[in-house]
Structure 1
Amino acid sequence: MLLACALPAFPLGAAPGVDPRIYNPAPTPPRRKTRAVTTEGMLRTRSRERDGNVILEAASRSGTAANCLNNRFQSFSLEAPHRSMDDGSPSRGSRSTDTVGPATIPVVGTQTRDADMGAEVPVPPPPVTDEHRRADRPFTRAPSGRIRCPVPGCPASDPAQAPGWQSLATMHSHPNSHRAGDNQGAAPPSWLVANRLTQRTECDEFMVGEQGATHPRCRPNARARAATAGEAGRALQRAAPNSHNNRPTLDEIMSSKRPTLKHVPKGCRHVWSAVLAQALAAAHLAAVALGGRTAPADTSRCVDAWVELFMLPKCTLNPTARSGRRHRKLTSQHTKARLERWLAGERAELWQDGAPKNTGKPKAKTSKEVRRRRALDLVEEDRLGPACAALSSQGSAPDTPATLAALQAKHPTGQAPSPEAAPPRDAATPALTPEEVLKAVQAFRNGSAAGPSGLRPQHLLDGVRSPDQRVALEALTDVLNTLVWGRVPICLAPAIAGAALHAIAKGEGDVRPIAVGETLRRLASRCLCASTKEDATQYLRPLQAGVACPLGTEAAFRAVDQYARRHANSSTKVALKIDFANAFNTAGRETFLRACNLHAPSAARWSWRCYSQPTTLYYGDTVLQSSAGVQQGDNLGPLLFSLALQPVLLRLKAHYGASNKNLDLLVAYLDDVVLAGDADIVAEALGVLQEACSTIGLLLDLSKCEVIPTAGLASAADLSIFPASSKRTAQHCLDYTRSKRVDTIKESLTELSDLGEGHCAYKILATCMGSCKVMYSMRTARPDWAHDAFAEFDCLVRTAFENIIGAPLSNTALQQSVLSSSKGGLGLRSAATLAPAAYVASVCSTWDLCRDIDPNYIWEGEFAGSGIAMATQILNSQLPVEEQLDIATAPPSEPHEQRNMSDALEQAAALRLRAAGTDSNGARLRAAAAPHAGAWLNAPACRNAGLRLTSAEFAAAAMFRAGASFMTSDTWCPKRDRVLEHTAAHAVACAGGGHRVVRHNSIRDECYWRCLAVGVEAEREESGLLPSDPLRRPADVFLAAWPGGIQLALDFAVTCPLQADMRADAAARPLA
């Protein structure tokens, strides 16, 4: 919620950063805490001495945005600049401006380097004049305390016609309108002198300061003029372009192809947080000050503030020419320098400096080597999902006229919503809180792409996540509240609600459009999803299972599947699956905007601002317009589409539920609709649905519609009454899992085996290509029917892993490798083994929702041969008696979680492996299952962090953990005169040759260096700790100062459970 609060403003005659009366030249800059205390004292002093002076009222929660607002935001800056240098060029370091958090107060009198001139000159303190000591300012105030325009005859000077302004700062644009000629008359010179208003040297706007002073925005051009000598320099000065006018437009910012850093360097995140908070606060306060006015003169300042916010990432977060670990410090310095230039007012110069250079290199084609490098780069960032997709990606579609035409065809022109579809003025939109915003920012996936402005979710996270960045978080919350309340100018909506469009190559010469929306827009929609969830559930459930309905897709499948089996002997029953053509891009906007006003009012204002006019899609150098449907990537898109389709579904349910023509089943998952019942009624309902959907812009894709007779080949239903282009399937395809899941992964597994980095390949295989690849099939397909397909899939995964390590696995090693890392395995989960647990968990968790979709849905646990009965039987056969399930007669009162049942299966399998093996295998299995013993498998394979193993190292570690054979047979150890097993059990414990304490010393040194890295004083192998035996060294690492005033001695011991005299004991109980 935005609350109006009164904050003491800086006196309009003094610099906000330096008070001449408390001037104290110091040899070194003040510390952060000192700056904060000094700033607070100055504000209190000025507020008391100038009682009755200007009070700045900002509509902002707790005044956060007002405190963040830099003086540059106002037309006439509240800043009194320092005295210029002898050559007339003020130093960049001599600026006096507020920053977010503790104020940055330049130390007057110290050496300051000018970035352009390269000279170090002393900056004298500002003179103490009567003007600074003046306790009052002769504002033109009405008796009520509000400021009126001093121009005679101006309507704003008449209290009967205009409300006036609370302060001189809030009437910033009005004097400029008189100066520009937009309003008649001119401000009296005496009023300008009394309020110290002067004209800027580089532009025509007013500022607070002495005559001839330079505004921070104008300083770059002033330095450029001073650097040019002679008459030519003065001529160039007169012809110098206005920096403010050279600023790009919003469309130029969004359409420019300028890359931004994937994350903000750590060394400059505090500066980035301050700059971000400043820009956010300026945009928020500009929108608040604008109110509901729509005149161009009024909206120009608000537009300027938002344009600067969107140009910030591409101006300051540009990557350097050289990147990588060796140049990380250079990147940090480069970014910090650009952020400081932004604070100095060099917006237009930063934009020009950051223009991309045309290298003339042709765009690299998508080849196997390119995909491999791309996958390795993504693994380095711990983005395993995109790395998996990169291995089999076909790349972007070629930038040709055919591709552009295909994209235009997928974004047809629609009719603009009428004004009647706008939300009411009293539409309730709950205010977002900083905690909700931070949670939404953290919910973005790692490496989420940037929007058209170049702002990434990671940039926001780097600027708001730490406690000392609370100011930036609150400023971001203010901006998001401004967006969701629809208070931004309507002229900004096409760009804010726009997206960067990409064309991905698709089969059969088609393209798939991928739209990446602006980050602030995605964040605002993500925050609104939580507030609309309850309303959406109440209105859409159970007809729509795709929005605000967990496990909706599984419940819809189960309801239809059981309906087909219940009517397997009915010769007239059919199930019809309906699909729409390009549904999300063709839905009528007025339809879902009206529905949003009624059923999701908390999102009505934001939805109207985004979809009330065509939005802009930036594809390369081409700008497309989207005027129909919802935008891809919009978090509110599925909800808005469902709101448009829901009246049609309700109409069908009302018509075919109250008459004799009953429609047995009606359910939708987003744009996929299923009708079930008698064939003639379903065909009639299809016609009604087709006609109703045409009125909201949706067209059926009959070539994708499927008619499935429940009786299969024995059906007597007349399929000719359905459109000829629809698919007429007589029986369900039992090998769906094999064709759609198993066959499609073979090519990806082949690419994975050729990746060349064993550790990276394993991470992708275990995380993205294991059982998770077929998890939906495991939860929906009967495990007894799909067992062969799952077993084939496990065989493919096993072969891929053997290719990665370069060695075959025995059956025992394979049984261990499919266990989770916490149970001593390698995390290559078996789909065939875990399928019964997944199926049972799905049936139990979707029971209530299936009953809502189909009132005739029944529990099938008591029927022998049903899916749930067979899955339970298979599951119980692998569990001990005390862990077995009994859900035959009724569904469980509490749903069984898949994780718990999978853990029980793996624990039983681990116990069987220990019982069947020798003492050596038992000791190895128990040691592998010890706490944190498998942490190296779960760590990211990041080379820069020193966590990536070479292919040989990973293969050796994985084979030893799984008990694989390093040699074809046992041999003899010549050092210790013992048997050297083929599993290398003796090799890791052999004391013959080599350094016996190498592991111990490695752990000791790692702990020692980590302590030093975090500033903890540590000593290695400290002697003299025991007075009775001063030569002993009981501490590998000694910490002299530990919290609580104690001293801490750390001693490390490395044991090997595979030693011959310890194997029996290690197999029977844990050693640690």
Structure 2
Amino acid sequence: MSLKIEGEVKVDSEPVVAAWSDKLFVGCEDGSIKVFIHNWDTVVSIPPDDLGIFHSYHPKEKYKIIETKISDGDIKGATQLMFSNDSVAPDTPETLQGLQSKHPPQPPSAQLPDAPASDSAPLQVLGTDVYGAIMSFRCGSTGGLDGLSPQHLKDLLASTGQAGETLLSNLTALINLMLAGKVNTLIAPLMYGARLCALNKKDGGIRPIAVGSTLRRIASKVCCRQILPKLSTYLQPLQLGFGSKGGCEAAVHALRTYIEHDGGEVVLKVDIKNAFNSIDRGTFLTEIKELTPEIYPYLWQCYSSPSNLIYNSNLIHSEVGCQQGDPLGPAIFSLAIHKTISSLKSKLNMWYLDDGTLGGESDTVLDDLRTLTDNMREIGLELNSSKCEIFIPSHISEARKSIIIQRFNSLAPNIKILDETSLRLLGAPIHEQSINNFISEKINSFTNKIPHLLKISKHMAFQIIRYSLFVPNFTYILRCSPIFKNKTILSDIDNLIQNSLSKILNLPFRDRDWLQASLPIRFGGIGVRKVSDVALPAFLSSTHSTLALYNKIIHPSLGVSEVSCCGEAKEAWQSICPGEALPENPHSQRLWDEPKCLSTGRHLLETSPNNTERARLLATAERESGLWLHALPSPNVGTFLDDRSFQTAIGLRLGMKIVQPHHCPCGAEVSQLGHHGLSCRRSAGRLSRHAALNDILRRALVSVNTPAVLEPAGVIRDDGKRPDGMSLIPWAHGRPLVWDATCVDTLAASHVPHTSRAAGAAAGTAENLKREKYRSLDSTYLFLPFGVETMGPWGPDAKSLVKEISSRLADVSGDKRAGAYLRQRLSLAIQRGNVASSFDGSLTPAASWAAHAVQPFALAAGGGRVYSASNDGGVRVWADDGSKVTELAIAGPDVGTLRIFGGDLYAGDEGGNVLIYNNNEEKARYNLLEEVKDIGLSGPFLFTVRDLDVIVTEIKPEESKTRFTTRHTMEGRAPLRVAGAALLAMARGGTALQLLDASVDTRFKKLHEVKVSDMIVTSLDVSGDFAWTAGWDGHVRRWRIAGDQLTPAGELNLGACVNALVATAPGEAYAVMTGGRIVRVKAD
């Protein structure tokens, strides 16, 4: 999880800061000292120990691992881990024996075809083919025995310029070497081997899971793409498991239609024992040599010799069958059994890899079962009779049923008998009677999953719901089965989704809220769809998109061309969308879905109770307003929203009640909708949102090789104000880009008359006003206003600028998604500002007084006293109410550092003097000769930073007020802090933090060094066992000091350079940024 901003205050530019008790003391540019207290109960929060962009977790901490997977983009893997009932089998001799039984030895009679001829022409591929194969791996895919994961290659090829191109060229050469079958025979068993683990099956036994080498998987993926067109034609319509898009759906439609048109006496579902691990290698290599000779050299080397499977420390040889972890496995298995299944005579004969379905007259199907039993044995396979299933339609007499069952049972003992309530194919229910049971099981399953979602963050739980649960988990069934006909069942599922979402987000969904929420994001919803809305479009899309394949499968004797229930589905759609023409492309589920979505959106607008509600609905239907919902919730890249932020952002988008009615500090009434803060001049989020938008734009420009600065000096408008940013080189037409950002409230009373008629009207107006204000710059600069609204719409110039930056980002990085990521970050910045504005999180001024003629250079607080120093004299002492106590004499040069240790005040000046005061009296003075840039104390050692060295000086004020002994010098720079028996100091580069033993006995040994930033760190402070760092990159990071290690414990991007940082407790700090913005951060 990452930090959030809930409270802030704006003071004069770049102050210094100190804290004591519950007060924050700020030395301002005008020489005053201001005192602030905070008035919120819950402030910027992070959980202890495990925070930020670094994830440190114990393997057993399941939910932390799940969140890590989601943040890495592996939502599918996170979902499987969260909901799977699979368990890892114990490492026992029984488990090893079970794995060995799954990988039998090669029989003595096995014969392989001849090796490829020396003049054979192997498949050779291009870099684009290899790149496509690498990018096709899903996020989270792991590596094989060599540890090289697909993500490693993705990262190395992305945005690495010439180095990436060189790597891709070398990878392509290696893949072509593998395709030619020329891998060194000594490493081939490992190259084509795999890491092996074992899972317990629900019904007992072991399920082996193998992960092959990434390089081998790349080679097989490019082979798949090359042979797919040829094999697709060869295998269809019997084999639907390789090269048949929509094969599962077509099979289900075909079986339903077949049964409903009385296609025969019996349907037989065939199961094969350990099919992929048992198929004869000679069989499929022979087929490969004949049909796809271009990949034969590669596959012959893969399969002509045993490969190694490593289970823990045990070696298992893979000698038979398809190698686990090989993407070509489905293709070569399908080829191996194709001649056998082609010889069958049943009217219905379709296979999805090793799952076969036969239908027809009982005698014909029984003969085919005999044929399968005999012929499968010849290629190393054996039918699993106890898992085979038979269905006999209800129109068959009981006497005939009994005879049929007896005959099949004699050939396949213990075969299962199915009826209309239990018949399913490839996981999909066939009859309406079976749909009810299936849906009941699904509802129970979904209900049991909700408690798991409550144990992770709301943002991440939402992503699982949106991408992996409910409708996404159900889409295949909705496309295969006519569930749209049962409105009661659909309503039950919709209620479960609504109640689950309400529980997870802790928001009360009224009917109107739920109606909007269930729309796609592009129509103003949040993308959590109702099953009742998706069921009909999904089924219609499937019946049309699979029609060609369906017609190949279905037997001509049935005389049927239309998929079962398709006509009924069309009629139902036309009754829901009266007057709408059927989609031009009926294959598209979106086109079937859009008319109903548009109708729902119109209904919400037409029934809006007021113009404010209408303005909100129009705004949320804008493309840019929902971009933040598409962002991956990753602390790594700053796209994660904590629970309250995500909850509030959803509530604002849907117009829900998010706060209790209260009075704003400005005196206005705040309603339950929380809209007032979006336009209040005293709201806490305006400054952070503005800073974040500009920082994102500046960074994006830098990423496209256009250096830029914020608040450029010398570029001013007529009233003396500066624009937000400027490029340092020409952007277009030979002129530098100058921009100025503004975020206006969509729902403000002054804007509603316009925003209730046209989305984005307020942003467009704001951009026009900016243009007028900066008209004087037009002759020299290319000025573009950047106008956005609180509800998400962007102005025309903002869209234009982001479009151009996005185009350049894609060109520079080679990643077409770069522009989408930029848009998402901008959209998230708006939401974070909205959240901060919706709650009273401001710092409350408690006191202020004139302390110096100019800004203080140093500030310290403790014991009810505030100490300040500038260039106008000595160190001044104040009570915390601003009354002056005294002024301390100094050595002469300006004091730049003030620290309090053990009740004594230490002052370091430009002349190298360190003065120690006790009870406002000088206690000792040591002249260390060089400017003191920072001070730390761990008696009797005084640590000072002078230039790029840390000097250790032994002092004994009780014995001598001037003499000292230099004990040690080591490399380092300011800032510096003492943490118990340890010393923390920045390395000379300014980006790495050093942890050192503060003991002369070890000669101040360096214990640990960790890179804490890519840019200079300007601020460091310590409280308890935690250190806090911040600097130029705008990130505040927290680190646990654990023995001799520094471990990450939190991170927050504040969007601007941090000039000062003070930790007031182990879990609390104040950060002061360029421009005088002060933010309070607190850990749970």
What band does the TM-score fall into relative to the shorter chain? Answer: 0.5 to 0.7
Pairwise mapping of residues 727-746 of structure 1 onto structure 2 (< 5 A)?
Answer: 727-732=416-421, 733-739=434-440, 741-746=442-447
Report whether the alignment pairs 1:488 with 2:188: no
Counterpart Cα distance in 2 of 1:861 and 1:415: 47
| Aligned 8 A contact 1:713 1:731 in 2 | no
1:706 aligned residue: 389
Pairwise mapping of residues 632-643 of structure 1 onto structure 2 (< 5 A)?
Answer: 632-643=324-335
| Aligned 8 A contact 1:818 1:827 in 2 | yes
Report whether the alignment pairs 1:720 with 2:403: no
Q: Which moved more, 1:484-493 or 1:404-413?
A: 484-493
1:814 aligned residue: 514
Counterpart Cα distance in 1 of 2:321 and 2:493: 39
Counterpart Cα distance in 2 of 1:906 and 1:623: 57
Greater helix content:
1
CA 1:427 to 1:565, structure 2 compared with 1: closer, same or farther past 3 Å? farther
2:477 aligned residue: 777
Offset from partner CA, 1:410-459 (integer Å, 9 cap, x none): 21223374354544455432211122111111211222111111122223
Counterpart Cα distance in 2 of 1:941 and 1:628: 44
Counterpart Cα distance in 1 of 2:379 and 2:323: 16
| Aligned 8 A contact 1:614 1:626 in 2 | yes
Counterpart Cα distance in 1 of 2:317 and 2:405: 42
Counterpart Cα distance in 2 of 1:798 and 1:1010: 39
CA 1:1049 to 1:967, structure 2 compared with 1: closer, same or farther past 3 Å? closer
Counterpart Cα distance in 2 of 1:587 and 1:593: 11
| Aligned 8 A contact 1:410 1:585 in 2 | yes
1:1031 aligned residue: 719
Report whether the alignment pairs 1:624 with 2:312: no
Residue 982 of structure 1: which of 651, 657, 672 is its match?
A: 672
Residue 926 of structure 1: which of 604, 618, 621 is its match?
A: 618
Offset from partner CA, 1:310-365 (integer Å, 9 cap, x none): xxxxxxxxxxxx9997999xx9xxxxxxxxxxxxxxxxxxxxxxxxxxxxxxx978
Offset from partner CA, 1:30-74 (integer Å, 9 cap, x none): xxxxxxxxxxxxxxxxxxxxxxxxxxxxxxxxxxxxxxxxxxxxx
1:503 aligned residue: 198
Report whether the alignment pairs 1:457 with 2:140: no
| Aligned 8 A contact 2:88 2:198 in 1 | yes
Tell me, what secondary structure is at the counterpart of 1:1035? coil
Offset from partner CA, 1:1003-1044 (integer Å, 9 cap, x none): 335434655677744444457646xx6433362223342234
Counterpart Cα distance in 1 of 2:161 and 2:133: 16
Report whether the alignment pairs 1:951 with 2:643: yes
Counterpart Cα distance in 1 of 2:179 and 2:406: 51
Offset from partner CA, 1:450-507 (integer Å, 9 cap, x none): 1111122223334445441333222222221111111224343322211110112331
Offset from partner CA, 1:580-604 (integer Å, 9 cap, x none): 1111111111111111111121221
Superposed CA RMSD: 3.0
1:390 aligned residue: 81
1:908 aligned residue: 599
Offset from partner CA, 1:812-834 (integer Å, 9 cap, x none): 11111111222211111222211
Counterpart Cα distance in 2 of 1:326 and 1:560: 50
| Aligned 8 A contact 1:665 1:854 in 2 | yes
Report whether the alignment pairs 1:896 with 2:587: yes
Pairwise mapping of residues 89-238 of structure 1 onto structure 2 (< 5 A)?
Answer: none
Report whether the alignment pairs 1:796 with 2:496: yes
Q: Which runs of 5+ in 1 are unaligned?
A: 1-321, 332-362, 657-662, 887-891
Report whether the alignment pairs 1:1051 with 2:740: yes
CA 1:990 to 1:467, structure 2 compared with 1: closer, same or farther past 3 Å? closer
CA 1:974 to 1:323, structure 2 compared with 1: closer, same or farther past 3 Å? closer
Query: Shift in Å at residue 1047 of structure 1?
Result: 2.4
Query: Shift in Å at residue 857 of structure 1?
Result: 8.3
Q: Give the letter aligned to residue 295 of structure 2.
A: A
Query: Shift in Å at residue 528 of structure 1?
Result: 0.8
2:809 aligned residue: none
Query: Shift in Å at residue 738 of structure 1?
Result: 1.4
Counterpart Cα distance in 2 of 1:996 and 1:647: 70
1:666 aligned residue: 349
Counterpart Cα distance in 1 of 2:448 and 2:487: 22
Report whether the alignment pairs 1:433 with 2:136: no
CA 1:786 to 1:689, structure 2 compared with 1: closer, same or farther past 3 Å? farther
Report whether the alignment pairs 1:1069 with 2:758: yes
Tell me, what secondary structure is at the counterpart of 2:625? coil
Tell me, what secondary structure is at the counterpart of 1:1052? strand
Counterpart Cα distance in 1 of 2:186 and 2:711: 69
Q: Give the letter aligned to residue 517 of structure 2.
A: S
Residue 468 of structure 1: which of 162, 165, 183 is its match?
A: 162
CA 1:324 to 1:594, structure 2 compared with 1: closer, same or farther past 3 Å? farther
Residue 465 of structure 2: which of 752, 765, 778 is its match?
A: 765
Q: Give the letter aligned to residue 871 of structure 1.
A: A
Q: Give the letter aligned to residue 467 of structure 2.
A: T
Tell me, what secondary structure is at the counterpart of 1:452? coil
2:301 aligned residue: 609
| Aligned 8 A contact 2:576 2:596 in 1 | yes
Offset from partner CA, 1:847-892 (integer Å, 9 cap, x none): 11111112438897989xx5112322332333352x3328xxxxx8
1:204 aligned residue: none
CA 1:575 to 1:509, structure 2 compared with 1: closer, same or farther past 3 Å? closer
Q: Which runs of 5+ in 2 are unaligned?
A: 1-48, 422-433, 762-794, 796-1084
CA 1:1052 to 1:502, structure 2 compared with 1: closer, same or farther past 3 Å? same
CA 1:498 to 1:950, structure 2 compared with 1: closer, same or farther past 3 Å? same
Identity of aligned residues (%): 28
Tell me, what secondary structure is at the counterpart of 1:1054? strand
Counterpart Cα distance in 1 of 2:520 and 2:144: 38
| Aligned 8 A contact 1:1057 1:1063 in 2 | yes
Offset from partner CA, 1:7-28 (integer Å, 9 cap, x none): xxxxxxxxxxxxxxxxxxxxxx
Report whether the alignment pairs 1:884 with 2:581: yes
Counterpart Cα distance in 1 of 2:517 and 2:668: 32
| Aligned 8 A contact 2:272 2:381 in 1 | yes
CA 1:489 to 1:1054, structure 2 compared with 1: closer, same or farther past 3 Å? closer
Offset from partner CA, 1:727-747 (integer Å, 9 cap, x none): 111324233531554333333
Residue 583 of structure 1: which of 275, 295, 305 is its match?
A: 275
Report whether the alignment pairs 1:442 with 2:131: no
TM-score in terms of structure 1 length? 0.61
Number of matched pairs: 689
Offset from partner CA, 1:120-171 (integer Å, 9 cap, x none): xxxxxxxxxxxxxxxxxxxxxxxxxxxxxxxxxxxxxxxxxxxxxxxxxxxx
Counterpart Cα distance in 2 of 1:1066 and 1:819: 21
Query: Shift in Å at residue 544 of structure 1?
Result: 0.7
CA 1:745 to 1:503, structure 2 compared with 1: closer, same or farther past 3 Å? farther
Tell me, what secondary structure is at the counterpart of 1:735? helix
| Aligned 8 A contact 1:753 1:800 in 2 | no
Tell me, what secondary structure is at the counterpart of 2:435? coil
Tell me, what secondary structure is at the counterpart of 2:587? coil
Counterpart Cα distance in 2 of 1:783 and 1:767: 21
Q: Give the letter aligned to residue 370 of structure 2.
A: G
Query: Shift in Å at residue 705 of structure 1?
Result: 1.3
Offset from partner CA, 1:637-676 (integer Å, 9 cap, x none): 1111111111111222xxx3xxxxxx22111110011111
Residue 539 of structure 1: which of 223, 227, 234 is its match?
A: 234
Report whether the alignment pairs 1:1003 with 2:688: no
| Aligned 8 A contact 2:728 2:736 in 1 | yes
Tell me, what secondary structure is at the counterpart of 2:76? helix
| Aligned 8 A contact 2:54 2:636 in 1 | no
| Aligned 8 A contact 1:415 1:627 in 2 | no
Q: Which moved more, 1:1002-1011 or 1:441-450?
A: 1002-1011
| Aligned 8 A contact 1:421 1:593 in 2 | no
Q: Which moved more, 1:408-417 or 1:669-678?
A: 408-417
2:452 aligned residue: 751
Q: Give the letter aligned to residue 1035 of structure 1.
A: P
Query: Shift in Å at residue 380 of structure 1?
Result: 2.1
Residue 526 of structure 1: which of 206, 214, 221 is its match?
A: 221
2:608 aligned residue: 917
| Aligned 8 A contact 1:1024 1:1033 in 2 | no
